[in-house]
Structure 1
Amino acid sequence: MDTSRLLRTTGTVIAAAGLLLAGCTSEGSGGTRASASSSGNTPKSTAGTAAPGAVPAALRPYYGQKLSWRDCGVPGFQCSTMKAPLDYANPGTPGSAQSIDIAVARRVATGPGKRLGSLVVNPGGPGGSGIGYLQAYAGIGYPAAVRARYDMVSFDPRGVERSSPVECLSGPEMDRFTQVDQTPDDKAEQALLVAAFKKFAAGCKTRSQRVLPHVSTVDAARDMDILRAALGDEKLSYVGASYGTFLGATYADLFPGRVGRLVLDGAMDPSRPALELNRDQTAGFETAFRSFAKDCAKQPECPLGSGDPDAVAQRLNEFFRKLDAQPVPSGDPARPLGESLATTGVIAALYDESAWPQLREALTSAMNGDGAGLLALADSYYEREADGTYANLMFANAAVNCLDQPPAFSGPEAVQAALPSFEKASPVFGAGLAWASLNCTYWPVKATGSARALEAKGAAPIVVVGTTRDPATPYKWAQSLAGQLDSGTLLTYDGDGHTAYGRGSDCIDTAINTYLLEGKAPKDGTKC
């Protein structure tokens, strides 16, 4: 049902405890770190680095902790567990009932060359596993020159996978949830959709009551500063993609004096309220679809035919309407391909233009009565396993988003009033994404954040990267964030797909690698 990994992007407001922490930590911390040499020798533990006066006394035990590293079971990687306060207003002590475990992983710098410290990476979501991303891509796929000089590090943010994961529904319940009609045609279908959202929220409360009030982006950013100290780094070097840009910008706003080299790729705009963000993203997916449609029309066997993008979009809408009335077989009798799953499958493929051939093939098959291809795309998006279980991505996604900002809509009537603006933003996806924005309306925990600009006054230069036809994080968000940040510098990629670094642009990669390795930020306004 949720047809975007960033269904509700969020801003944040700093709570009283956060103001205290930020106010006391604007100076870089002292201390040294036991480090791996360029030959790859690995320390068994890393000592916390935080000047005693830099943090409140109640948090010093967390900042002073040592990470004990162990084998992950994945060649080349080590894992550890960090303690953080469950509630920063009532932190307790590490290991007590008032603390929470944060899973961490690293791959030490390979050398040659002088080690530059740790490079923390986050793949976005919210809800994406940083450890999974590190082990599958960043720790082995980042440029060799970067991996030579940095320990590559990531963590599963609180509420995600290995770090007290938020759980909401069983596998069969999620199967039913993802099939609920997301474009209700009448009051009865609206009631079914509302009931589905309420059941989802109630499941989260029942299964995750302890952690649910404490998974905001501000909480995760504070955890990241404890991680920085535990790694022994005076300043944080960081690459965040998608939602990871909001996490990184929040960190910079809380701890501007501890900003090292920050790259925010596929930027979110924390100053815009949920309704505007959802509508912006709806337009972003329409832009991405039209790029796909133009490319598809050039292919010899485009399932949507040839002609201008409006005509192609109309054919896809007609196909969706047919699926709404009569789903097609998918190979799974319990999950025929209806409109909701088909829409999710299409959107999943719009994140990366390299998936366009797969999307063409899946659409061709579905239009000929075989929905297996689009269902597979939807399953990959939802992180559904072959055995019918789901990763907790969508649960954590909702939990973080619904805490970070108030709901976009108060109820179905408000959605109805906004439908024309969403459908104008995207004739293809507008209605579905508008109704999906009800996901936080029935959330059991009141939001603690709200939309506001993040300035990070006094921080070192921060590189903000925007892609002109990004489906999930529209380019104007990058422009806005770069303008908000006191030291923001905008790097633009004129292209398709979600995010830019490591996706084939030598211009983008060279600019970011130079910044990470030499500290030289690209000139503000650089275009690739």
Structure 2
Amino acid sequence: MKKPRSLPLATPIWLASVLLVASLTGCASSGTQAASDKVDPLERYRKQAVEWKTCDPTILGNEEDWGDDPDEDEEIDISMDSAKRKYGNRLRCASIRAPLDWANPDRGDVVISLLRLAARKPDQRRGSLLINPGGPGADGLPMAFNIEQLLIEKGDAEHPERALHLQLVNEYDMVGFSPRGTGASTQLRCASNELVHTLDYSAAGMTPQNIANARYNNRKETEACLKNPITPFINTDATARDMDLIRGLLGDGKLNYLGYSYGTWLGAWYASLFPDRVGRMVLDSYIDFSRPLDFVPPQIPARQRALDDILIPYAVRHARHFQLGTSEAAVRRSMADLSARMQHTVAVPLMLTGYRRDGADDFLEIIAIARELDGLFKSMPKPLNFAAAEKAAQRLPFITRIPARKADRQIIAQRLLASYFESLRNPKRESLDLDFNASTYAAIRCNDAPASVDENAWEKRIKESAERTPHFFFGLYGNPCTTWTRPSVTQPDWSPLRSLDLLLVQSQYDVATPLEGANAFFDQLPRAYRVYVRGELEHGVFPYRDKNCVDQTVARYLLGESPAQRETVCPAHPLPLDARKPENRK
């Protein structure tokens, strides 16, 4: 089961996944103030007219960048043309104005773009459900119809919770939005002519020069972002206040909210500022809001734990399929014996496939293919020739041994080859140019409350992590916050959350929002409820398509019925090969 993609919290800033590419939108002038504005400068925002209209066909940008990978089993169709045909007048878009600086509205405006999929049964409408996919830096516009597709269109007609899912889309307007800095809203872009340094992500490449290169990149990223005048105003406090503006303009007395990943941090910030305006709030794969925001460090050991407890035993159970060895020690050797250059090559692909249950097969097949490529390169004449290597790689035993997997494994091999040879050629350095995803990620990470501001402590943490977690430590290289000039943003007192009946959702082996922080935060919220999926790897759980547990609890909560017990513990879905019948396993 795929969830709408969010920008992974652990993605290095300069390698953040591109969700879409669009141009920078400038800030509009606030215009001449009316006399009433002098009494309440925010009134013009709160009383603005919202014009819902047909969505521009290109509002989502390059739609091919939004869907699931073509080699994965289940795609979510988010093309605007398809959505218009499918949903008709239920689907509408709008843009609203919000102050660039909520503390000083005279600075000017930003534009916030909204997309609404109206309730199927307007006469039963209970309000809007505002949805955020996380990031920070992810564009949430398509979340409105992504959720309906996941709940209804991609769901099983015989699913036991289908009636509840239908009730959700019948009674809620699903609303997605581009948070300030992203997507179709006013965008943040950090760019500069300066050339960034190439980094080595292997443990063997963790040298003083590599750290110096990372310091240089972080400094240049900071300089580029701080040149942009809107950077200080891209922060969670401003986005939370934008959300309250959206709530009011939608005509809702309470904010009903579904947030994933960083979206849980955003939801907790909103609830701390406006506890009396919180309706039903689901925080799925959540961050510990009682501590300062520090994305990456907790994720490194969580990745290693998922590898040790979930992925390596899975490889052993299906040793014939993955060809990595029949014991855990053998699988570990398969990873450790990869050449330094190949470890660098697989670092990012392994990170990006480690968030999902459905990524487990790809994770292990990447390692198996990398091992065979290493062996192939040793047998080939030097210097290596890309065309010859590419041709030979398509005939490698691991790639060809299972016909049903041949095409997918060939795609993995082609991507690894291209990355490997690019690093061999000492690629041309490029100017620093962060898309809106990466720019907003950097701004919020450093504006909210950067924990990693001591460069010496940062360097020590990298060295220690390289020894303990050699395949995952490299995410620590990206840390522009060490040289960032912070605006006056203060995380609000979160004590109001103690009195709210929030619903938290968490999987045991989530590597992006690790369990330690999730447990610590839940323990401090006496009136909150939690759905906990034991043994699960998935980041972003709902909808889960299980029977009488995750989906039922979340749907009933959103429909006004809080769980009977404080914590609902649900069993995990099996990993892909574990779910197959024995006769179908290879």
Alignment TM class, shorter chain as reference: 0.7 to 0.9
> What do the CA deviations read for 1:35-64 (whole angstroms, capped 9, x no partner)?
xxxxxxxxxxxxxxxxxxxxx822222122
- Given candidates 356, 365, 368, the residue that maps to 1:361 is 365
1:278 equivalenced with 2:296 (yes/no) = yes
Q: Which deviates more from structure 2 when the two are superposed, residues 315-324 or residues 230-239?
A: 315-324
1:343 equivalenced with 2:347 (yes/no) = yes
> What do the CA deviations read for 1:201-244 (whole angstroms, capped 9, x no partner)?
233334xx121000111111010000000000000000001111
Question: 8 Å contact 1:58–1:91 — kept in the other structure?
Answer: yes
1:498 equivalenced with 2:539 (yes/no) = yes
Report how far residue 518 of structure 1 moved. Answer: 2.9
Question: 8 Å contact 2:505–2:530 — kept in the other structure?
Answer: yes
1:479 equivalenced with 2:519 (yes/no) = yes
Which residue of the partner structure matches residue 414 of structure 1? Answer: 457
AA paired with 2:460?
Answer: A
The separation in 2 between residues aligned to 1:523 and 1:191, in whole angstroms, is 52
The separation in 2 between residues aligned to 1:229 and 1:451, in whole angstroms, is 23
Question: 8 Å contact 2:498–2:525 — kept in the other structure?
Answer: no
1:124 equivalenced with 2:164 (yes/no) = no
Q: Which deviates more from structure 2 when the two are superposed, residues 194-203 or residues 240-249?
A: 194-203
The separation in 2 between residues aligned to 1:201 and 1:134, in whole angstroms, is 33
Which residue of the partner structure matches residue 287 of structure 1? Answer: 305
Question: 8 Å contact 2:269–2:492 — kept in the other structure?
Answer: no
The separation in 2 between residues aligned to 1:173 and 1:374, in whole angstroms, is 33
Report how far residue 152 of structure 1 moved. Answer: 0.2
Question: 8 Å contact 1:466–1:491 — kept in the other structure?
Answer: yes
Structure 2, unmatched stretches of 5+, are: 1-6, 13-38, 58-79, 152-164, 374-392, 394-409, 419-432, 571-586
Which residue of the partner structure matches residue 8 of structure 2? Answer: 5
How does 1:358-437 map onto structure 2 within 5 Å? 358-369=362-373, 373=412, 391-411=435-455, 413-419=456-462, 422-423=465-466, 426-430=469-473, 432-436=474-478
How does 1:95-134 map onto structure 2 within 5 Å? 98-111=108-121, 114-134=124-144
- Given candidates 145, 150, 159, the residue that maps to 2:172 is 150
Which residue of the partner structure matches residue 505 of structure 2? Answer: 465
AA paired with 2:93?
Answer: C
Structure 1 residues 316 and 522: CA distance shift in structure 2, 3 A: farther
- Given candidates 59, 69, 77, the residue that maps to 2:52 is 69
> What do the CA deviations read for 1:288-318 (whole angstroms, capped 9, x no partner)?
223122212222132533322x653443243
AA paired with 1:418?
Answer: R
AA paired with 2:540?
Answer: T
Q: How many aligned residue pairs are there?
A: 440
The separation in 2 between residues aligned to 1:503 and 1:356, in whole angstroms, is 17
Structure 1 residues 425 and 86: CA distance shift in structure 2, 3 A: farther
Which residue of the partner structure matches residue 232 of structure 1? Answer: 251
Structure 1 residues 452 and 253: CA distance shift in structure 2, 3 A: closer
The separation in 2 between residues aligned to 1:187 and 1:106, in whole angstroms, is 51
Which residue of the partner structure matches residue 103 of structure 2? Answer: 89
Question: 8 Å contact 1:461–1:521 — kept in the other structure?
Answer: no
Report how far residue 397 of structure 1 moved. Answer: 1.0
Which residue of the partner structure matches residue 154 of structure 2? Answer: none
Structure 1 residues 6 and 458: CA distance shift in structure 2, 3 A: closer
> What do the CA deviations read for 1:175-194 (whole angstroms, capped 9, x no partner)?
x76x5224553222222222
The separation in 2 between residues aligned to 1:378 and 1:219, in whole angstroms, is 43
The separation in 2 between residues aligned to 1:448 and 1:347, in whole angstroms, is 33
1:258 equivalenced with 2:277 (yes/no) = yes
> What do the CA deviations read for 1:431-463 (whole angstroms, capped 9, x no partner)?
x13333x232233x3154567872325754111
In terms of Rg, which structure is larger?
2
- Equivalent position SS for 1:239: strand
AA paired with 2:482?
Answer: T
1:161 equivalenced with 2:183 (yes/no) = yes
AA paired with 2:261?
Answer: S
The separation in 1 between residues aligned to 2:246 and 2:498, in whole angstroms, is 22
Report how far residue 199 of structure 1 moved. Answer: 2.5
- Equivalent position SS for 1:128: coil
The separation in 2 between residues aligned to 1:117 and 1:376, in whole angstroms, is 45
The separation in 1 between residues aligned to 2:189 and 2:365, in whole angstroms, is 34
> What do the CA deviations read for 1:343-401 (whole angstroms, capped 9, x no partner)?
1110111111112223333333333336962786999xxxxxxxxx9852222111111
User: Cα RMSD between the aligned structures?
Assistant: 3.2
- For normalisation by structure 1, the TM-score amounts to 0.75
- Given candidates 160, 172, 180, the residue that maps to 2:199 is 180
The separation in 1 between residues aligned to 2:438 and 2:414, in whole angstroms, is 17
1:141 equivalenced with 2:181 (yes/no) = no
Report how far residue 478 of structure 1 moved. Answer: 2.2
- Equivalent position SS for 1:153: strand
The separation in 2 between residues aligned to 1:464 and 1:375, in whole angstroms, is 40
Question: 8 Å contact 1:252–1:459 — kept in the other structure?
Answer: no
AA paired with 1:417?
Answer: K
Report how far residue 166 of structure 1 moved. Answer: 1.6
Structure 1 residues 303 and 156: CA distance shift in structure 2, 3 A: farther
Structure 1 residues 425 and 125: CA distance shift in structure 2, 3 A: farther
1:440 equivalenced with 2:481 (yes/no) = yes
Which residue of the partner structure matches residue 36 of structure 1? Answer: none
AA paired with 2:527?
Answer: S
Q: Which deviates more from structure 2 when the two are superposed, residues 114-123 or residues 417-426?
A: 417-426
The separation in 2 between residues aligned to 1:198 and 1:296, in whole angstroms, is 41
Report how far residue 421 of structure 1 moved. Answer: 5.1
- Equivalent position SS for 1:181: coil
Question: 8 Å contact 1:352–1:498 — kept in the other structure?
Answer: yes
Structure 1 residues 69 and 196: CA distance shift in structure 2, 3 A: same
AA paired with 1:469?
Answer: Y
Structure 1, unmatched stretches of 5+, are: 10-55, 325-338, 380-388
AA paired with 2:139?
Answer: S
The separation in 1 between residues aligned to 2:531 and 2:51, in whole angstroms, is 38
Structure 1 residues 424 and 470: CA distance shift in structure 2, 3 A: farther
Runs of 4+ in 1 over 6 A off after TM superposition: 450-453
- Equivalent position SS for 2:322: coil
Calculate percent identity across the aligned residue pairs: 27
Structure 1 residues 433 and 396: CA distance shift in structure 2, 3 A: same
Which residue of the partner structure matches residue 12 of structure 1? Answer: none
